[in-house]
Structure 1
Amino acid sequence: MSNTHNRTRYALVGTGNRGTTMWGGELLAGWSDHVDLVGICDLNLMRAERARGMIGGDAPLYADFATLMAEQKPSLVIVCTPDHNHDDIIVAALEAGADVISEKPLTTTVEKIARIRDAEARTGRRVDVSFNYRFAPTAAKMKELIDAGTIGQVTSVDFHWYLDNRHGADYFRRWHAFEKNSGSLFVHKATHHFDLLNWYLGSDPVEVKAFGELLHYGAKGPFRGPRCRICPHRDECPYFFDLAADGFLDALYEDPSEVDGYVRDACVFREDIDIPDTMTAVIRYASGAQVSYSLNTYMPVEGHHIAFNGHLGRIELRQYEKQPWEMPKADEILVVRSFGGGVERIEMPHQPGGHYGGDNLMRDMIFKGERPDPLGQRAGSRAGAVSVLTGLAALKSARTGGAVRLQDIAPPGIF
């Protein structure tokens, strides 16, 4: 997409938190020799204007994507809109001759996957998916250990992700809380986790059996209000969110809500929320590996636990992101070898930038020219598609009670 001599002319579509920071101000601040922001698009022009003030520069604002493409002709479009309309923007960008970076997930339905893949093949352009977790140094080290055969063939994986009662609750305050928008957290959030599994194992998932229920948020809540700012239960609700106390989010969302009606502090106990908040899945891979996975969204801790079990040992990580006790500023990977081989403790210090350095390393690879990628960290549309299909299979299994084979739901050409 870029080299060190030519700056990539890019357009940003969607000016929420992620677009304004990761692909806006941070990108321009750290990669200004490699990128040039030539247009900002959002249906809510007040939000777009607020975002531009935070990003910096004077990129023109557009409410209509086609007009932006016709006038600015960017070579790259970065898509940060709600998940359900990624496909419309991606396809239009590809057809206009631009490459695309899509925030995760790639999209939300099988039909939309097919539409994106067809457009990419037809136009010859490229779609990248923002799977930044692949680039975190700890993840890269575990991938190196697995690929080197440190524990032999991986036969099973234990993978459990914990969202705390602030981060997890945030998905239920926003548009993500409805399946039509996000595909559920089996798609929106777990797309990261399923992609990591697919990448770590170097194999495709074959079959999923899952459970998912709404056990804590939504109609399960003890009371509810119209939104936190005017809720009569604000003094007794542990999920009260004071948007006014967060200057960044308040500026992006409060006044702009008068334009489009979208409020950032909606009630987590809305009775029409229709996605699970408690999820488990068992996944069988083509390699023979079996995975036990869970995602919980109202924990007192944030982070994840993963362990790879093989014929020659086990690789284990407990990554702490937030918890009510002090933890060292490093991850510790445990490599436990079978047959008296003992344990090796590998310390991975946290790197600067989001996702323990993963965000910066991903942007380096994309924007600082073609670089070696021995671990296959850069993710394209197929990786995005397979992770979404894993989530869709999990959701279907949870809804129907039966196991779901990915080949039975996938569009042609994926497997």
Structure 2
Amino acid sequence: MSLKRKRYVLVGTGNRGTTMWGRELLAGWSDYVELVGICDLNLMRAERARTMIGSDAPLYDDFDRMMAELKPALVIVCTPDDTHDDIIVRALEAGADVISEKPMTTTPEKIARILEAEARTGRRVDVSFNYRFAPTAARIKELINEGAIGDVTSVDFHWYLDNKHGADYFRRWHAFTERSGSLFVHKATHHFDLLNWYLDSDPVEVKGFGQLLHYGRNGPFRGERCRTCPHKGECDYYFDLSADPFLETLYEEPSEVDGYVRDACVFREDIDIPDTMSASIRYASGVQVSYSLNTYMPIEGHHIAFNGHKGRIEMRQYEKQPWTEPPADEILLVRSFGGGVERIWVPHEPGGHYGGDNRMRDMIFKPGSNDRLRQRAGSRAGAMSVLCGVAALESSRKGGAAIVEPPRSVV
């Protein structure tokens, strides 16, 4: 008997929706899913995304009409962060399960709405925390679970975005707290979720620091967008959208419909999110974390180290840098009291996030997947990572430490 495919709709046809949850999902998991509808307020962008995906699914700019006509089993949400809660709640109330791109949402109030609707409807929300599924992250989790360094007491965690990837957040809607919650929420939700998952504990107190030191009003000059900027010949951050056929097709002409340009100036004076961030985090388990995120580095990747009673686990993941690294990550397991060092090499796997994207889609869509490391992330994980970021941003702006208080239904 053939397997019944899950009927899903895609909401939001930006880069991530078109690739990760559109073209790639259908290319590798079409035995398990069927794309039956595509929704975006910008129908020109939706039409171009549909062509790139290779689908003939009908297009909608009215979410409720799509849900009523198609009655999908699953809704995948890839819209701007501040709109997630409304779409998720309406999807749940229409009888569908949901996969939300990270972050799940941006504020405690929106978290509460999602959790209430999920409990009331009995449907499920998954959050796309693909970093949990990266082979190196899985190996580190195994070492911690095995007690390789005893109980973890502290963590050093530092993330570096290079001046291409990092700058990209300041070209787009992410550059405004109202839309993204800041990078303490939008980007760091991945990092705080990894910490919560690695440590199997909740953050309870955060002292955060964040400043806009490089982009925004700090720029030596500015324009409206790169395409029309008079400074393009002298700006290190000039971005030629026309040189990327995928982005040009998906965003340039569709910008005439909604006004959203993909190459806005990174030095806009109204940018209000920090680009240089750090936080000290205390966990319910007593673990102390030192965290930082920088967005204009000459390198891309992260460094993480776990300190325990019996040793230390350390890993530096290189993603982009002006030198060559092997296609693998090296984990150093250093044992105390003369136990020496064990070098553990984890090869990169094909696909995004060194295989994490593929592993996550396998877990969600293939029946019988073994979630022995509890990698599949639901609304609780989505809530706790956002709440940690919200607390870090609040602390950075108001001073003092911020308490992380999960909604009652998350406890």
- Pairwise CA distance, 1:413: 2.5
1: CA distance between counterparts of 2:287 and 2:254?
48
Q: Which of 279, 282, 286 is the equivalent residue of 2:280?
A: 282
Q: Is residue 2:407 matched to residue 1:411?
A: yes
Contact between 1:111 and 1:411, CA under 8 Å: does it hold in 2? no
2: CA distance between counterparts of 1:190 and 1:104?
10
Contact between 1:4 and 1:33, CA under 8 Å: does it hold in 2? no
Q: Write out per-residue CA displacement over residues 206-256 of structure 1, whole angstroms, 9 at most, x where no aligned residue.
A: 100010000000001111001000000000000000000000000000000
Q: Is residue 2:242 matched to residue 1:244?
A: yes
Partner-residue secondary structure (3-state), 2:410: coil
1: CA distance between counterparts of 2:2 and 2:326?
37
Partner-residue secondary structure (3-state), 1:265: coil
Q: Which of 265, 268, 278 is the equivalent residue of 1:267?
A: 265
Which residue in the other structure is 1:131 paired with? 129
Contact between 1:4 and 1:368, CA under 8 Å: does it hold in 2? no
Q: Write out per-residue CA displacement over residues 93-118 of structure 1, whole angstroms, 9 at most, x where no aligned residue.
A: 00000000000000001100000000
1: CA distance between counterparts of 2:135 and 2:373?
12
5+ residue gaps, structure 1? none
Q: Write out per-residue CA displacement over residues 329-362 of structure 1, whole angstroms, 9 at most, x where no aligned residue.
A: 1000000000000000000000000000000000
Q: Which of 292, 301, 325 is the equivalent residue of 1:303?
A: 301
TM-score, scaled to structure 2: 0.99
The residue type paired with residue 110 of structure 1 is P
Q: Write out per-residue CA displacement over residues 110-166 of structure 1, whole angstroms, 9 at most, x where no aligned residue.
A: 100000000000000000000000000100000000011000000000000000000
Q: Which of 43, 46, 53 is the equivalent residue of 2:51?
A: 53
1: CA distance between counterparts of 2:368 and 2:122?
18
Q: Is residue 2:175 matched to residue 1:177?
A: yes
Partner-residue secondary structure (3-state), 1:57: coil
Task: Percent identity, please.
Answer: 79
2: CA distance between counterparts of 1:201 and 1:147?
9
- Pairwise CA distance, 1:57: 1.8
2: CA distance between counterparts of 1:406 and 1:134?
22
Which residue in the other structure is 1:215 paired with? 213
The residue type paired with residue 261 of structure 1 is G
The residue type paired with residue 75 of structure 1 is A
2: CA distance between counterparts of 1:32 and 1:93?
22
Partner-residue secondary structure (3-state), 1:413: helix
Contact between 1:304 and 1:319, CA under 8 Å: does it hold in 2? yes
Moved over 6 A (4+): none
- Pairwise CA distance, 1:4: 7.2
The residue type paired with residue 185 of structure 2 is V
Q: Quick one: structure 1 residues 4 and 176, their matched pair in 2 at CA, closer, same or farther if it must change by over 3 Å?
A: farther
Q: Which of 166, 169, 189 is the equivalent residue of 1:168?
A: 166
The residue type paired with residue 412 of structure 1 is R
1: CA distance between counterparts of 2:185 and 2:270?
19
- Pairwise CA distance, 1:411: 2.5
2: CA distance between counterparts of 1:322 and 1:4?
43
Q: Write out per-residue CA displacement over residues 341-391 of structure 1, whole angstroms, 9 at most, x where no aligned residue.
A: 000000000000000000000000111113221100000000000000000
Which residue in the other structure is 2:152 paired with? 154
The residue type paired with residue 299 of structure 1 is M
1: CA distance between counterparts of 2:251 and 2:44?
9
5+ residue gaps, structure 2? none
The residue type paired with residue 152 of structure 2 is V
The residue type paired with residue 294 of structure 2 is N
- Pairwise CA distance, 1:7: 0.4
Contact between 2:171 and 2:262, CA under 8 Å: does it hold in 1? yes
Q: Which of 384, 390, 393 is the equivalent residue of 1:392?
A: 390
Which residue in the other structure is 1:344 paired with? 342
1: CA distance between counterparts of 2:410 and 2:7?
31
1: CA distance between counterparts of 2:410 and 2:31?
36
Q: Is residue 2:223 matched to residue 1:225?
A: yes
